[in-house]
Amino acid sequence: MELRRTSSAGDVRSRGFILVQIDGLAWRALLEAIRRRRAPFLGRLVRRHRGRALHRFSHLRPGVPATTPKVQAELLYGKEQRFPGFRYLRRSTGETVYFGNAFDVARIEANDFAGHFGILQNSGSSYFNIFDGSADLARFSTSGVGAGTIWATPKKRLRQGPYLLWMWLRTLPRVTWRTLREIALEVFDVVRAFVRHEPNRGHFSFVIRSMANILQGEITVAAMREDIKAGTRHLFINFIGYDKAAHLRGPLHPFAFWSLKLIDRDLRRLYRMAMKSTACRYDFFVMSDHGMVPSRPIAIDAGMEFEELMNQELAARGYEGPPLLLRATGNLAHLYLSSDEHLDHDAVVARVPALEGVLSRSKYVGWWVSRAGDRLRIVRDGAVHFVQSSDAPTPRLDADLVRDLWKLLALEDSGDVVIFGAREPEFAWNFLDEYGCHGGDEPEEQDAFVVHPDGFNPEGRRLAPLDLFRFFRDEYHGGGEAQSSKGATPPPPA
C-alpha cells in the first residue's frame, strides 16, 4: 500500500508532523459526538469547503488484541503483535504483566525497544504515551514514569523544578477554572445518576478524568507550544481523557463526550499553533488507537469475578486441580491452566475435562479459541472450526481476524485458551469492572480512524498501524536511511 507525501514543495522550512491520538475513540462515536456538537473542530477539519476537504479520514483496524500497547508498538517501532493483552501472565516468571504498571512498561521498553528505530527520534517529543518511540523528550509516558522520568526537559534547562514551576504558573488561571468546572460537572452527574436510578459506577472517575483533562489540556499543550516554537519536528501526544471517562461511564455517555469536547478545544489550539509555526512545516494528523464497545461487568451481574465463578463451577463438577488463572483485557481474556508451558486442546481436555462444558453453558462467554497441534480450534455458536493456516477463512471469522488469532496464540505468554465475552444487542460482557471496553473483535473496537491531510491515502484503503509506521518512517526519516539518534540503524523500507 502506498501512502503519499502530504506537503507541497517550495517551502524552505524543515518538515515535520504533529500526530494526535485520541485514546479509545471509535469513528462512529466521533460522528455521534459531531452530531451532538461535542467535536466541532474535528467536524470542521474533515468538512468539505468549496468542493475540497483539507483533511480526510481513513479507517484503521487495530487488530486483536485491540489495545494501546499493541498499536503503539506497531506504530512507533514497527514491531508486530508483541503483547497478548493489556494484562497477561509472563510464563517465565509466573508474574502478571499489567500495562497500567509503569515499572512493567519501563522494563518492556528497555528490553524490547531500546536501540531500535522509532518514528519520534531525531527531534521528537512524546506526551502521555505508553512507549516513547525513541523520542528525545518523553513526558508522562508510562515507560518514562517507570524509569523515573515523569517530565523530561531539554538539556539546556538547568533544573526541572524551576521549569515545571514556570509552566505551572503560566497555566494556573486556566487550570483553576477547569478544575472548578470539573467539580461542578461531577456534582451534576452524581445528582443525575441518583434521579435516574443509574447503577453506582463510582466517582473516583472525577480524579482520573480531571487529571487527564487538566494536565493534558493546559500543561501539556503549553509544553507543546514550546516544542512548536523550537521547531521540534516529530510530535506525538495521546489524549487519554475520553478513554478514561468511557471506561468508567460508557463510550457514548455524556461524561465521555464532555471529555471529548475538551480534547476538541485543545486540538484546535494545537492546530492553530502548528499552522502559524515559522520554524517547521507541520503535517497534522489525528488518530485513534482503537474503539470501544459499551459493556457490563460480569462481576456486577454474577456477584463475583468470572475467574472465581468458573473455578466454582469446575469444582462442582469434580475438578480438584489447581485454580485456573484468568488475565483479562476488557471482553478478551487469557485462560492459563499452566504457567510453565503452552497446552494445546488435547492437554487442556486431559487436565480439565469439564472446562468446555462450563464455557459453553456460560451466558458470559461468546466464543473461544485454542491450539490443536498445527491448527487453531475455534468454538463459536455451538460449532467447532479447525483452521489449517493463517489465511484460511472460516465461518463468521474474516481473514484479518484469523491472522490475528494465529499471531496471538503463537506468543509465548498467550493463554492456553483465549476467551471472548458474549455480545448482547446493546453491550458486551466485560471481564473487568468497566462500562466501556476494548480488546476483542467487536465492530466498535475495530473502528479506529486516521484524520489526515488530503492525498495521504488516495486509494482510501483500511489501514493498519504498521502502514502508519512505514509512512512516517519513509516520509520523515528518509526511508529509514537516517542513523538512529539512540545508536541503532533503522530497518530497511518494507
Asked if residue 93 and residue 61 are part of one domain, the reply reads: yes
**Sequence-ordered strand ranges (E) for 99-172:** 124-127, 137-139
Mean pLDDT of 196-218: 63
Asked if residue 264 and residue 150 are part of one domain, the reply reads: yes
Asked if residue 396 and residue 352 are part of one domain, the reply reads: yes
What domain range is 64 assigned to? 14-292+445-480
Average predicted confidence (pLDDT) for the chain: 86
The residue whose grid cell reads 488463572 is 325
CATH number at residue 284: 3.40.720.10
In contact, 490 and 482? CB cutoff 8 Å: yes
CA 416/CA 349 separation, integer angstroms: 11
Of 252-256, 322-326, 370-374, the range with the lowest mean pLDDT is 252-256
Task: Give the per-residue pLDDT at 468.
Answer: 97
Residue 300 forms part of a structural domain: yes
Per the structure, the count of domains in the chain is 2
CA 173/CA 450 separation, integer angstroms: 33
Task: Give the per-residue pLDDT at 195.
Answer: 75
Task: Give the per-residue pLDDT at 481.
Answer: 43
- Does residue 157 have a pLDDT over 90? no
Asked if residue 390 and residue 474 are part of one domain, the reply reads: no
CA 243/CA 453 separation, integer angstroms: 25
Residue 467: all three cell numbers together? 502502514
Asked if residue 453 and residue 432 are part of one domain, the reply reads: no
User: Domain boundary at 437, 457, 472, which?
Assistant: 437
Residue 341 forms part of a structural domain: yes
pTM score: 0.88
- Does residue 388 have a pLDDT over 90? no
CA 341/CA 326 separation, integer angstroms: 16
The residue whose grid cell reads 497446552 is 343
Asked if residue 162 and residue 76 are part of one domain, the reply reads: yes
pLDDT grade, residue 397 (50/70/90)? confident
User: Domain boundary at 437, 471, 488, which?
Assistant: 437
Residue 241 forms part of a structural domain: yes
Asked if residue 302 and residue 179 are part of one domain, the reply reads: no
Residue 228 forms part of a structural domain: yes
CA 262/CA 258 separation, integer angstroms: 7
Asked if residue 278 and residue 145 are part of one domain, the reply reads: yes
Residue 388 forms part of a structural domain: yes
Task: Give the per-residue pLDDT at 39.
Answer: 97
Instruction: Give the residue from 377, 427, 419, 421 showing the smallest Cα distance to 402.
Output: 377
Residue 115: all three cell numbers together? 536501540
pLDDT grade, residue 144 (50/70/90)? low
Residue 8 forms part of a structural domain: no
Residue 451: all three cell numbers together? 484524520
Residue 382: all three cell numbers together? 455451538
Asked if residue 381 and residue 278 are part of one domain, the reply reads: no
Task: Give the per-residue pLDDT at 149.
Answer: 57
Residue 7 forms part of a structural domain: no
pLDDT grade, residue 116 (50/70/90)? very high
Residue 493 forms part of a structural domain: no
Asked if residue 148 and residue 24 are part of one domain, the reply reads: yes
Higher pLDDT, 194 or 364: 364
pLDDT in tens, 218-252: 778 888 998 999 999 999 999 998 998 899 889 99
User: Domain boundary at 419, 437, 455, which?
Assistant: 437
Asked if residue 193 and residue 333 are part of one domain, the reply reads: no
Asked if residue 412 and residue 310 are part of one domain, the reply reads: yes
In contact, 141 and 221? CB cutoff 8 Å: no
